[in-house]
Amino acid sequence: MKKLINAPEAVLADALSGVAAAHSGLNVDTENKVITRTAGTRAGKVALLSGGGSGHEPLHGGFVGLGMLDAACPGEVFTSPVPGQMLTAAQAVDGGAGVVFIVKNYTGDVLNFQMAAELAAEEGLSVETVLVDDDVAVRDSTYTAGRRGTGATVFVEKIAGALAEQGADLAAVAEMAKRVNASSRSFAVALTACTTPASGKPGFDLSEHEMEVGVGIHGEPGRRREKLRPAKEIVATALDAILDDQPLAAGDDAIVMVNGLGATPLIELYVVFNEVAQVLAAKNVTIARSLVGNYVTSLDMAGVSITVCKADADMLALWDAPVNTPALRWGA
């Protein structure tokens, strides 16, 4: 294993100290492992809080800031944060209008955020929970009951975050977050496994001529393992799965993200995006907004995920609203 770390057990602590040193707009509580906006939450504004295991950067800490999250709770690598951590974060960012928990559908995250919501209620905080479950590759996996939460998390945090910034109430922000999740589908393919610092070896064996089709962001198995194919065929497989589950009609608008899993060069992601654009253009679907880059990673995994959101006018307007976070920034 070759990694730029000091020791496996110190990775998260060292990384959080690095986040604090790099981003003056963030307040990093290294003891409680909570990232919040330095400016705090505006009084009367609904706060958005998310979190999960580390190793998926910039998710979630990289999306704390104007127009997106108010707080993020990073757990250890591929390990859920704990309820007390989430409660501390919720108390820190509650502006009096309530808190929306955005939770990726992984068993540990779901259980711990549920417990945190119950603790928050006992403390007098109003909490709404939104579950993200956009991955169409498999129905159940090593880490989940039901679909996994992946790339749509970025869409949910951006669009619901913009609505919260505009002063919408708790119910409206949560409902918009649920609408975005319901309109989004994702599918991923891995070319290599990732290596966690604690294990020191790849999470699974994959020959140089194979790919894992429908992989999860922790390296969970997908639909099948097969021979590596050209980008055009990989995109066709992914979009077939996405559009079978969430059909797009001629004239529809879409937000599309081609996301690297950590070790894929940007030039290859643009090759993939070109193939996606051609498929959707042939269906007379307009890619109204797009992201290409690393947004939801899996440490050093080579591969790609594709996320498509069937977007209405409200979603597009909120997508265009100002955002200023370490990983996403425009109009601010």
Question: What CATH number does residue 218 fall under?
Answer: 3.30.1180.20
Together in a domain, 202 and 171:
no
Q: Is 321 a domain residue? A: no
Same domain, 24 and 58: yes
- Domain interval for residue 213: 184-311
Q: Residue 43 — very low, low, confident or very high, per pLDDT cuts 50/70/90?
A: very high
Question: CATH no. for residue 74?
Answer: 3.40.50.10440
Q: From the candidates 23, 56, 60, 209, which is the catalytic residue?
A: 56
Is 54 in the same domain as 77?
A: yes
Does the annotation mark 23 as catalytic? no
Note whether 195 and 117 are same-domain residues.
Answer: no
Residues paired with residue 26 on neighbouring β-strands, in sequence order: 37
In a domain, 3, yes or no: no
- The verdict on whether 218 is a catalytic residue reads yes
Q: Examine the fold and report which residue of 182, 215, 231 is the final residue of a domain before the chain moves on.
A: 182
- Contact between 11 and 18 under an 8 Å Cβ cutoff? The reply is no
For the chain, the domain total comes to 2
Same domain for 31 and 73, yes or no, is yes
Q: What is the pLDDT of residues 140-159, one digit of tens each?
A: 766 667 899 999 999 999 99
Beta bridge partners of 202: 195
Q: Are residues 111 and 216 in the same domain?
A: no
The structure's pTM equals: 0.97
Contacts of residue 160, Cβ cutoff 8 Å, sequence gap at least 6: 48, 100, 102, 130, 173, 174, 176, 177, 180, 318
Query: pLDDT tens-digit profile of 53-103?
Result: 999 999 999 999 999 999 999 999 999 999 999 999 999 999 999 999 999
Q: Closest Cα to residue 318, out of 206, 165, 169, 202?
A: 165
In a domain, 214, yes or no: yes
Residue 281 domain flag: yes
| Torsional sign, CA 294, 242, 106, 83 | positive
Placement of tokens 């009951």 in the chain: 145
* Domain assignment present for 156: yes
Helix (H, G, I), strand (E, B) or coil at 117: helix
